[in-house]
Structure 1
């Protein structure tokens, strides 16, 4: 149930830092998930890695691993965390690799390592093998709608919104646009699922367009789209600039859904197994640190810095802390739908989740239904490295899943995904565009 909003504080970088300091030292992993000192690591093959990120709050574990010295703690003293202008740029730089002026790994949309590995989204369909090492977060994305539709107070149900979009299209003769960040990526999947669940065909009734995250608000302001799906701080910034409102957080569609991943080129992993595990240990420690409520104010301040997201801290702080003002009168404080970095096995790269993304990419024709998804997941998903890194870190056994599957998943519209039978799920969906090859 919505809670009564408390007076909104005025946040500044200084006040956030003072708040973080008052809550306790932020120089070590603290609180809910104590980490034992790791044993002396085997010799590192390299101390260098170039990692890409997009200006989004779910890249916070990479920001924190760099800012708090976790990479250096594990011997990776020459790590560069490099801003990418779009997911397309991330893809292109991963294809290049660091030896050719690109990057070795990245904060990335979970389906992208599969789309790159299969050549589905690369120039000339060149296949570049990738490995997923961890999930960076659960949930934390939102779908936003322009203020033109504020009276509708659009939420999970898109049926009335769909009618309004149709009326506008008939009146103007122009397409209505919904923006996402990369074809076949998570935001594409969320906005398509959301629309289709309400009977709106995302291939016929609307036009999905690609817009880099940091350009979402500016494009909504000039009327380029009617809705968009992206991570923070861009949904909150939209409200602060009085351009639109939040229709829903994506965990309302699928509770604690998988989102971004930490992935590396497979040739880097193969050539540098110890360095790869050291990078992963740093990321896991950073995820624990980000999850701790005592650190959330400082996480927001770090994210807001020019080097990382470069946005006003007031656009970042609320949702990093788990507070959601939807811009419609609905306010949820300490929301159960907030982003998770570690809690609820947020970091573990369940193979079952990768299978759902592959199945949805088949649903929309990005990947053929003939694809051997099981064999592909076995090559791309390296949960074995995650388990080894977590064990060496001294992570409590209860926080190390024993199964490659999180089990049967349920969605807001009543659909059920059983990883043991993805075809049954696919058959249950009325709106889809399958291709055999």
Structure 2
């Protein structure tokens, strides 16, 4: 019996052999590092990582038990629990995997048209979608943009950014879904005018000279949640010790990842064809915080493009779940009234996270919710026994989100797509 097996037996691990799914993106790094640096084995787990072709495949295989868990889009466990998108399976997110990590990239042809109508405005940082609105008003056409999945931070951040400038994401922009690795090819072929995707697929388009980044996700919502670990609720209930060991391994991997001196090695590991499979120098554009918006332009320093551990990046805030629920309502994806806080509490599980963090002696937030959009600079969160340095959390529209009253936040937007009456939502117990 080797050390990993002894650890598994000693910790009462119910299922030491696991298969975890991932999409080839920079932010699958916690899973890759936990495997390559031995953190899974340290906690008694024998893990196989399974590269998947799409987010729909991830959802379906976790729901049916073909995968024990997966690297998931942060809103995906919510959507799957609610049965949105055709698959209903109670799914939980006991851990966040990262903050930020995505961007909006457009074709060179579209960028030239934007500069023709708006001058230097498209090169300003952060850029407003007003330049896109001016082009649309002039030409009256519908542009085609892609996101990675209907229930994704990419979809909601892109829509939020467009709507801030009066661009209707469904009337002015034809929204489609394309798996992230296919987006640069579709952009080059003229099948889409732009996309919102995670790294390295924005850097890939820049390196190939086929597109340029307009704005990063961090500039739309500073330190927004991006991916989570997702597992079936019944799987978690039948394998509590396995899940705790899995969380502990991923927490240690996240700590390793956020040491700057480790980022080049992480990029080299991710470059392996079994993982992301693009050159390490492209992966390093976001991983080392030296990012190019366009080919030929000097790199700019974006140290928070990929955040894996600092700013409590691994904590599954229920306030993040609530914000995603408001967006599902805002854009007509939810058709029935529901108790938003109850859904957030069912899906995002900081209680499970705290068990693993406590076992490792790591500090973690004492509360499950925090206001978003109120900090323009780093700030300190008092956990009761220690403090955590947190990052800025502003939205590009300057509007704050108070999780105590998500309906008031929702009421502040144009709600012609809302399929549920606000009064019906309030009757469901919102706010508490």
- Whether TM-score is above 0.5 comes out as yes
Is structure 2 residue 33 aligned with structure 1 residue 64?
yes
Q: 3-state DSSP class of the match of 2:417? A: coil
Is structure 2 residue 64 aligned with structure 1 residue 96?
yes
1:29 match:
none
2:167 match:
200
The Cα of 1:166 is off from its aligned counterpart by: 5.0
1:82 match:
50
Choose which of 374, 378, 398 in structure 2 pairs with 1:414. Answer: 398
1:159 match:
130
In structure 2, the CA distance between the partners of 1:271 and 1:436, relative to structure 1 (3 Å rule), is same
Distance 1:429 1:331 in 2: 38
The Cα of 1:41 is off from its aligned counterpart by: 5.6
Unaligned 5+ residue runs, structure 2? Answer: 1-6, 116-121, 374-393, 422-432
Cα deviation code 1:246-302 (max 9, x no counterpart): 111111111111111111111111101000000111111111111110100011111
The Cα of 1:346 is off from its aligned counterpart by: 0.5
Q: Verify the 8 A CA contact 1:52 1:103 in the aligned structure 2.
A: yes
**Higher RCO, 1 vs 2 (CA within 8 Å, ≥6 residues apart):** 1
Q: Verify the 8 A CA contact 1:156 1:194 in the aligned structure 2.
A: no
The alignment covers a number of residue pairs equal to: 385
Q: 3-state DSSP class of the match of 2:337? A: coil
Unaligned 5+ residue runs, structure 1? Answer: 1-37
Give matches, 1:35-434, under 5 Å. Answer: 42-77=11-46, 79-97=47-65, 102-123=66-87, 127-151=88-112, 152=115, 153=122, 155-165=126-136, 167-168=138-139, 170=141, 175-327=142-294, 331=298, 333-368=300-335, 370-395=337-362, 397=363, 400-409=364-373, 410-430=394-414, 433-434=417-418
Cα deviation code 1:228-253 (max 9, x no counterpart): 00111110010111111011111111
Q: 3-state DSSP class of the match of 1:259? A: strand
Task: Give the root-mean-square deviation of aligned CA atoms.
Answer: 1.9
Q: 3-state DSSP class of the match of 1:246? A: strand
Q: Verify the 8 A CA contact 1:139 1:258 in the aligned structure 2.
A: yes
The Cα of 1:164 is off from its aligned counterpart by: 2.0
Q: 3-state DSSP class of the match of 1:368? A: coil
Q: Verify the 8 A CA contact 1:61 1:287 in the aligned structure 2.
A: yes
TM-score (normalised: structure 2): 0.85
Q: Verify the 8 A CA contact 1:297 1:321 in the aligned structure 2.
A: yes
Larger CA deviation: 371-380 vs 349-358:
371-380
Distance 2:111 2:10 in 1: 55
